[in-house]
Amino acid sequence: MRAADISDQLSTVLVTEEEIQRKLAELAARVDADYAGKDLLLVGVLKGAVMVMADFARSLQSDITMDWMAVSSYGAGTKSSGVVQIRKDLDTDLHGKHVLIVEDIIDSGLTLSWLLENFASRGAESIEVLALLRKPEAAKVKIDCKYVGFDIPNEFVVGYGLDYAERYRNLRDVAVLAPHVYA
């Protein structure tokens, strides 16, 4: 669905599907160049990164491998708890691998800082981060994110994989959820 289909539940559209696809193609060209001649493992963080992973991975011209990790830090609310729990671990041994973590959004940064530390201890050769969205004003810890799609204001957004209580993940655009939906 598009933002127009549920406009009564949204307050502002921040990034359209077309802008997302253009940005992912740009990022993919950079990643193709940066990892030329290297084996790259993309690690998607479930469930929010599913859409980014699907479109970004297919925008690449190189052959990569993919794995998934599920962590939870939010529960059903709209604020980061800082408590990270592994719900599904990787199937891949990271030893000697070039890892690119694919994320939907960097909010407080707490989830990623935890993941980065966790991955570093598993012996990866290199670890970088790609995030479609970032909320600079919400940062509680600094994350070195090499590939960022869009910096957005510090508001709760949904769409393109991002949910509110598991809803709106299938919205093609990224939009600010209208306060009346969760108030």
132 binds ligand IMP (CB under 6 A): no
Q: What element of type H or E holds 148?
A: strand 147-151
Smaller CB separation from ligand IMP, 60 or 143: 143
Smaller CB separation from Mg ion, 31 or 173: 173
- Partnered with residue 95 across adjacent β-strands are none
13 binds ligand IMP (CB under 6 A): no
Smaller CB separation from Mg ion, 44 or 48: 48
Q: What element of type H or E holds 111?
A: helix 110-120
Helices 17-34, 50-59: axis angle to 10 degrees equals: 60
**How far, in Å, CA of 37 to CA of 181, rounded?**
48
Catalytic entry in 55, 104, 107, 173: 107
In the set 10, 27, 106, 115, which binds ligand IMP (CB under 6 A)?
Answer: 106
- Residue 104: CB atoms within 10 Å: 26
21 binds ligand IMP (CB under 6 A): no
Stretch that binds ligand IMP, among 14-22, 88-96, 116-124, 154-162 (CB under 6 A): 154-162
10 binds ligand IMP (CB under 6 A): no
163 is catalytic: no
Cα 32–chain centre separation: 19
173 binds ligand IMP (CB under 6 A): no
Q: For residue 122, what are its two tokens?
A: 């598993």
Q: For residue 11, what are its two tokens?
A: 């307050």
Residue with tokens 């960022």: 148
44 binds Mg ion (CB under 5 A): no
Q: What residues line the site for Mg ion (CB under 5 A)?
A: 48
Q: What residues line the site for ligand IMP (CB under 6 A)?
A: 45, 48, 73-74, 80, 103-112, 156-158, 162
